[in-house]
Structure 1
Amino acid sequence: MQGTEGGVSKHTTSAPLVTPISVLLTLLATLVIMGITSTSWEFIVQDQLLSRFGVNFETFGSHDRWRFIYTSVIFATLSQIGPALLLFRLMRRLDRARMEVIKAREKADSLARHDPLTGLANRRILRDTLRKRLGAAGANGPHTAVLLVDIDRFRSVADLHGHSLSDLVLVEVANRLKSLLPSDAVLARLGGEEFIAVMPRPASLDALGKLAQHIINHLSSPYQLNGLDARLGATVGIAVSPDNGTDEMELMRAAEAALYRAKANPGTYRFFQPAMDRELKQTLRLQRDLHTAIANGAIVPFYQPFLRLSDNSLAGFEVLARWNHPIRGFISPDAFIPVAEEIGLIGQLTTAILRQACLDASKWPQNLKISVNLSPVQLKEVSLPDQIYRTLRTAGFPPQRLEIEITETGLVNDVTTARAILTNFRTAGIEVALDDFGTGYSSLQNLRSFPVTKLKIDKSFVRSMNTDPQSKSLVVGILAMSKSLGILTTAEGIEEAGEGVWLGSIGCDYGQGYCYAKPMRGEEVPAFLNSRAAAPAPDAGARQRA
């Protein structure tokens, strides 16, 4: 079906040159040639040519001469059988070696041009095809369409079931795509879970949109292979010539930009628009700058204190990553943390922030804890505890002073691995806090299944509880539930002293927010600690009366 233009092998497997039939034919040819030669000598050369020059040979009768011819031909032929067999064996060996070289060249050529897993074209042949088609298109066409397909949730399947089953899934994806595309399309695998199709641009873009939606629907059907029952999806970016580019690099970059925008809402397709290119370039610059920033230590920890609401005493600091970009200024963590997750830098970033936080906190009173956020992506890495412990040992920081913050999203991605990691942390004495509680997959099952020691009530509920009765009821309910389960609680986003007083009065254990302090640099923490030590102790009775 899908052709591989420009990808036909230059080496074709030839038949062996030396075979038993070829040897037999050679012997027969030898027999015939010698018969003709002997007959010519006896009856033409001797009788007609040499006799004219006075050269006469003793001749026999015709019958004897023919018997001589037969005898000499047969004898000569038999004398050649031994050398011929030896030569045959030698030629067969040489022929086998030649065949092996040809097959090796064909295999190398195939590997250079095709994906070894799916058999589809690879990036090299895809670009050759795209270049030829774009080059053949005149002012009036035929023009080209590019569909870039990303398989949603494939990484989770690979992490959970291993490479063997995930490879089977990729082969099935390739087969499904081939069955959906027109016969003149070229389908390639770019690597990982990305596929790309190059095809003639239809007269209507609506037809491309319908094809993209058909691909999404078909690839979202269940995958049942060797006991695997997986649910995946697909997201598609579309670019067309000449609107979005007239060479292969422009068109592929346009498709990538469209796919990047579509992935904001997985399971959809998007056509390229000029604004997407600017957005993609900005993202690529951010990725490049992020690499440099982590390597150079430009992303640093800031610290926001959290207090015990029962007596207003300092309990510790939450560690927050802050990046002061040399050109763009402070970049929000909401902007660069997802990028770090996407390009696989979140582990390095967490390690760098934790290491510096441990070094800073080592200079503070020993009763103060630090609370560090972990990405949901990290809760799928079984090596995560070892990475954390290694950082703690390097900094000489006791695990009992560390609190790990996770979100509910991280728990549902890979339940088994997440539970094993968190249990490992608890065994080492590290506290586990469930952050932004109430905004994600809030479930009592999560609290029962995972070793959570603290809930952090999301700031959206705390900030609206004075104006929204429903938010206030939710806060009260969360606190009551936590108390019944023996889990501590922290209210985030407290901006007024009265909010902290009221939350403490109904059983909230800790408070955090601008009411107490904004996030501060490490070098600012000692002054903050000194100011609290110099401040008079609060009047508990007055706080209760308030």
Structure 2
Amino acid sequence: MRSDDVGKDGEVAEALLLDAALESIPYGFCVWSPQFRLLMWNKHYRDFYGFSEDAIHRGMTLEDVVHLSARLGNHPGQSPDQFYEHYTSDLLANRNGARQKAQEVVAGGRIIETAHVYSEKLGWVVTHEDITDEIARSESQQKRKLELERQNIRLDAAVNNISIGLCMMDARGRLVICNEPYARIYNLPIQLLRPGSQLEDILAHLFDMGMSTGGTKDDYIAWRREVISRREYGKNIHELNGRTILMQHHPMKDGGWVSTHEDITEQRQAEARIQHLARHDALTDLPNRIEFLEQMARVEAGLTRGEMAAVLYIDLDHFKAVNDTLGHAVGDEVIKQAAVRLWGTTRESDLLARLGGDEFAMLLRPIDGIDTAARVADRIVKAMRAPMVIGGQQIEIGASVGIAVGPGDGTTTDHLVKNADLALYKAKSEGRSTYHFFEPGMDAELQQRRSIEAGLRLAIERDELRLMFQPLLALEENRVTCVEALLRWDHDDRTISPVEFIPVAEETGLIVPIGEWVLQEACRTAASWPGDVRVAVNLSPVQFRNKDLVGQVKAALSEAGLAPTRLELEITESLILSDSESTIAALHELRGMGVRISMDDFGTGYSSLSYLRSFPFDKIKIDRSFMRDIATRSDSQAIIKAVIGLGQSLGMTTTVEGIETEEQLAMVREHGVSEIQGFLFSPPLKPKALANMLHSEAVKGQAKRRAS
């Protein structure tokens, strides 16, 4: 073999070795000459760009290769000339031996990373690596990282924005995480909030700061250890610096746990307030009916053993009138002042409650005898008699008290309460501002009263009410000048006396609609009488509390077509005693219309002359009680004579009720009385009988005048 042949063989071997090396590297490889001509490449290079084996050749220009590559779908979004211009600029800018990287997009969306370095002997050596999957993995990892960060942010926000404290401990009792409310509730120092802090260190700090759990620190830590070891749910309520904390232990599967901590101070206070309100009156803060009855029930066992206790039922007198006339604000203030006064009458062991409205109750326990209850009741009556000053206005009410003493009056709550209520009704019926003990037989009285009340509510609707009329004889004229309308109630096959039902009607307020009916019926009946005969109608003080009383009178007169001068309204001293400006104003308005106002039953009440001065009455009616013994008692004669003389001097008509004998008539006639009323002249008559009497009298009067 020649030496030159040997040299040629060596070059071939080197070329083969270079080709093998180029083909074995795991990425694309090519070399561009300084004149941008293709000098070398490998199969990976062709595959990346989709070049066939014979599509490229040594010495091919870079520009031709770029156009070929573009036709195969590489470098989308750029024209071949744009890519060529950009690529050559990068190559020319990198001739300092540094390795410069760039990325290209080829057909199918694959991403190729190129790296070129310049060699003066060869030109630009360029490597090509498909990094599509690597980028996808990196992006996926980045997405996962961002998602984890977002989840951590959300978790952190959720943990720190919930209202309760939360902390997580691992199986070894080391802090994993806690939130801001947890740190705030316990005011923990920063070193105990770091992950890894031991539970026992945290608890020791809290007990040092004053935490109270109902036991010692060791007891509490032992309880926590037991709950942790059992891996069971547990809860505990403890106190720290005046706050109440609810801790709940929630075990986890790995042996760790989550505990929640809630400040329930306000919740406990609200619950306590709700419980208090459920058993106490909102206006006076006294125990209410529920609390009173429960306390009563606890006394029952002692009563069965013979121990004594008393129940006092208390009702404020005239409270409804105050509430109706002065308004609910004043009424509430009356209730509050009454509660204070009543509380001042109690002993330390007694219970005072407000049952509702103006009703109070008192439980006296224990007592030695009924005199103890009497002394307390007497203090109550006296305390409530004193006037109240509210808003610069003096208000007088009073209180009535009913007393039941166990075990004599009952050994159960229901029995004692019922009997105290019966006794209260009796006290009120006896004139109020007094007290009364329960007595056998009161139940029957109450049943009768309730029966009357129930019947009265339907009396008008059932047409059970009717009027009787009793004439009044004018002595000087010797004829009927006025007729009094008297109410009768036919119920359950009997006629019930006004003495029985009027007090009930007044107490329940039913007197207002009943009184309106009486006005209408009396005016309608009187409209058919001779033109100068008046009708007298009694008015209850309760009716004056109705602000529309004057309107009712006007309506009754208008509907009947009766002149106001033919209506006479009779009132009692108790109405003037109230000294209400609205009452006096109403009386003046009625009198201004022409309606006559009469003082009824004069002499049975206070009979103060100041009443006659406070309002110019048209008539004074002397009560029938003075007529029973006028013939035998000189003082009765003197009183009648004085009242008649007083009426004459004041220009008022005087009427004497209850004239039943000629002797009585002669005596009052002698003293100069204006009118008489009584059975001697006429009993109460039905409307038709009265009409006949009046028309007959009118005919006689006309005949007498014609004869004269």
Query: Within the alignment, does 1:442 sit opposite 2:586 as a pair?
Result: no
TM-score w.r.t. the length of structure 1 is: 0.75
Q: Which has the higher contact order (CA 8 A, sep 6+)?
A: 1
C-alpha displacement of 1:235: 3.0
1:149-192: per-residue Cα shift (whole Å, max 9, x none)?
Answer: 23345456556654434433322332333344344433211223
The correspondence of residues 153-168 of structure 1 with structure 2, limited to 5 A, is: 153-155=318-320, 158=323, 162-168=327-333
**Where does residue 21 of structure 1 map in the other structure?**
184
The correspondence of residues 304-453 of structure 1 with structure 2, limited to 5 A, is: 304-327=470-493, 329-453=494-618
**Where does residue 57 of structure 1 map in the other structure?**
none
Q: Which moved more, 1:155-164 or 1:477-486?
A: 155-164
Return the structure number with greater helix share: 1
**Where does residue 296 of structure 1 map in the other structure?**
462
* Cα distance in 1, alignment partners of residues 391 and 698 from structure 2: 65
Alignment check: 8 A CA contact 2:598 2:621 kept? yes
1:94-116: per-residue Cα shift (whole Å, max 9, x none)?
Answer: x99x9998877666554443211
**Where does residue 510 of structure 1 map in the other structure?**
675
C-alpha displacement of 1:28: 6.5
After superposition, the Cα gap between the structure-2 partners of 1:103 and 1:425, relative to the gap in structure 1 and judged at 3 Å, is farther
Among 654, 657, 665, the alignment partner of 1:492 is 657
* Cα distance in 2, alignment partners of residues 431 and 518 from structure 1: 23
**Where does residue 119 of structure 1 map in the other structure?**
285
**Where does residue 437 of structure 2 map in the other structure?**
271
Alignment check: 8 A CA contact 1:201 1:240 kept? no
* Cα distance in 2, alignment partners of residues 305 and 159 from structure 1: 36
TM-score w.r.t. the length of structure 2 is: 0.59
**Where does residue 85 of structure 1 map in the other structure?**
none
* Cα distance in 2, alignment partners of residues 21 and 110 from structure 1: 31
After superposition, the Cα gap between the structure-2 partners of 1:243 and 1:501, relative to the gap in structure 1 and judged at 3 Å, is closer
Query: Within the alignment, does 1:465 sit opposite 2:630 as a pair?
Result: yes
**Where does residue 46 of structure 1 map in the other structure?**
none
* Cα distance in 2, alignment partners of residues 200 and 27 from structure 1: 59
Q: Which moved more, 1:284-293 or 1:494-503?
A: 494-503
Larger-gyration structure (1/2): 2
Structure 1 unpaired stretches of 5+: 1-14, 37-94, 541-546
Among 396, 420, 444, the alignment partner of 1:255 is 420
C-alpha displacement of 1:378: 2.7
CA RMSD of aligned residues (A): 3.5
C-alpha displacement of 1:350: 0.8
Alignment check: 8 A CA contact 1:186 1:199 kept? yes
* Cα distance in 1, alignment partners of residues 560 and 276 from structure 2: 52
* Cα distance in 2, alignment partners of residues 262 and 427 from structure 1: 40
After superposition, the Cα gap between the structure-2 partners of 1:191 and 1:472, relative to the gap in structure 1 and judged at 3 Å, is same
Structure 2 unpaired stretches of 5+: 1-162, 166-180, 200-261
**Where does residue 522 of structure 1 map in the other structure?**
687
**Where does residue 310 of structure 2 map in the other structure?**
145
* Cα distance in 2, alignment partners of residues 466 and 413 from structure 1: 35
C-alpha displacement of 1:285: 2.0
* Cα distance in 2, alignment partners of residues 430 and 341 from structure 1: 24
The residue type paired with residue 309 of structure 1 is L
**Where does residue 647 of structure 2 map in the other structure?**
482
**Where does residue 189 of structure 1 map in the other structure?**
354
1:414 aligns to what SS in structure 2?
A: coil
C-alpha displacement of 1:34: 9.0
After superposition, the Cα gap between the structure-2 partners of 1:110 and 1:326, relative to the gap in structure 1 and judged at 3 Å, is same
After superposition, the Cα gap between the structure-2 partners of 1:505 and 1:535, relative to the gap in structure 1 and judged at 3 Å, is farther
* Identity fraction in percent: 36
Q: Which moved more, 1:136-145 or 1:180-189?
A: 136-145
2:341 aligns to what SS in structure 1?
A: helix
After superposition, the Cα gap between the structure-2 partners of 1:114 and 1:138, relative to the gap in structure 1 and judged at 3 Å, is closer
* Cα distance in 1, alignment partners of residues 385 and 622 from structure 2: 36
C-alpha displacement of 1:427: 1.2
Q: Which moved more, 1:282-291 or 1:153-162?
A: 153-162
After superposition, the Cα gap between the structure-2 partners of 1:448 and 1:16, relative to the gap in structure 1 and judged at 3 Å, is farther
The residue type paired with residue 680 of structure 2 is C
